[in-house]
A and B are shown apart, each in its own frame.
Chain A
Amino acid sequence: DTAVSQTPKYLVTQMGNDKSIKCEQNLGHDTMYWYKQDSKKFLKIMFSYNNKELIINETVPNRFSPKSPDKAHLNLHINSLELGDSAVYFCASSQGVSYGYTFGSGTRLTVV
């Protein structure tokens, strides 16, 4: 059983479209995150939810909207996709900062 699973693994779409990425964790963790990894491998946090409550919202365009229906799921919806949104998006979960994160395998988004 995959601990943190993301779908889809690859997503190719045209500019202007709307798309969603889903994430689920079966570890019983309270906190979930979305990170963006750019083409130079740099990782930057986007959002974090703790028990369905938004606790981190970094400077991210409001075209990006996270949704957490329960503490095991954190989805990311992106409106009006732009070329600059092309990246790998990672979901992660954690039971506490000193334990570190468990990451999903990533979703490679390509906007053409």
Chain B
Amino acid sequence: GDSVTQMEGPVTLSEEAFLTINCTYTATGYPSLFWYVQYPGEGLQLLLKATKADDKGSNKGFEATYRKETTSFHLEKGSVQVSDSAVYFCALARSSNTGKLIFGQGTTLQVKP
């Protein structure tokens, strides 16, 4: 079945460091891919998305490129801030009527001043 695998956390970085969180997926066809962010005590917020191969999603300095050949959707940011500390979830959805989102296990990011 469809699945998403993210790198293990927690990831601890200093402010202004470069961030990469790896995400790979298993799915047939051409799923849509998403990154969600969950701040402490809050619900999930859509961070960015890509719906076809080679699309780049971007938002708030984060970006991720849909790589069909490597079945990956790695999240990157050039310079993290303390306020980026959160749990990041990679997810996929197949293009069907059910629209079920399948999530990776989440990666906790902690940014220190």
Q: Please, how many angstroms separate the alpha-carbon atoms of A37 and B9 in the complex?
A: 17
A42/B103 in contact, CB under 8 A: yes
- Cα separation A104 to B43 with both chains bound (whole Å): 6
Chain B residues closer than 8 Å to A56, beta-carbon distance: 98, 100
**Residues of B near any A CB (own CB < 8 A):** 32, 34, 36, 38, 42-46, 49, 51, 87, 89, 93-103, 105-106, 108
Kindly provide the distance from the CB of A65 to the nearest chain B CB, expressed in whole angstroms: 19
Of B97, B101, B103, B105, which is in contact with the most chain A CB atoms at under 10 Å from its CB?
B101
Interface residue range, chain A: 20 to 34
Is A101 among interface residues, defined by CB-CB distance under 8 A? Answer: yes
Task: Give the secondary structure class of B's interface.
Answer: strand
What's the dominant secondary structure at chain A's contact region?
Answer: strand
**In the complex, A45 Cα to B103 Cα: how many Å?**
9
> Residues of A contacting B34 with CB < 8 Å?
100
* Interface set, chain A 60-112, CB cutoff 8 A to B: 90, 92, 94, 96-98, 100-106
Task: Using CB atoms, name the residue of chain A closest to B34.
Answer: A100
A101 to B78, alpha carbons, bound, how many Å?
A: 26
With beta carbons under 8 angstroms apart, the residue of A42, A92, A101, A103 that contacts B106 is: A42
Binding site for B on A (CB under 8 A): 4, 31, 33, 40-45, 48, 50, 55-56, 90, 92, 94, 96-98, 100-106
Complexed CA–CA distance, A48 and B103 (Å): 16
Asked if residues B44 and A40 are in contact (CB atoms below 8 Å), the reply is no
Is the beta-carbon distance between A41 and B97 smaller than 8 angstroms?
Answer: no
Partner of A97, one of B46, B89, B99: B99
Which A-chain residue is minimally distant from B89 (CB atoms)? A43
User: How distant is B71 from chain A, measured CB to nearest CB, in Å?
Assistant: 18
24 cross-chain CB contacts under 8 A? A41-B87, A41-B108, A42-B103, A43-B44, A43-B89, A45-B100, A45-B101, A48-B98, A55-B98, A56-B100, A90-B43, A94-B99, A96-B99, A97-B94, A97-B96, A98-B32, A98-B93, A98-B95, A101-B44, A101-B46, A101-B101, A102-B46, A105-B43, A106-B42
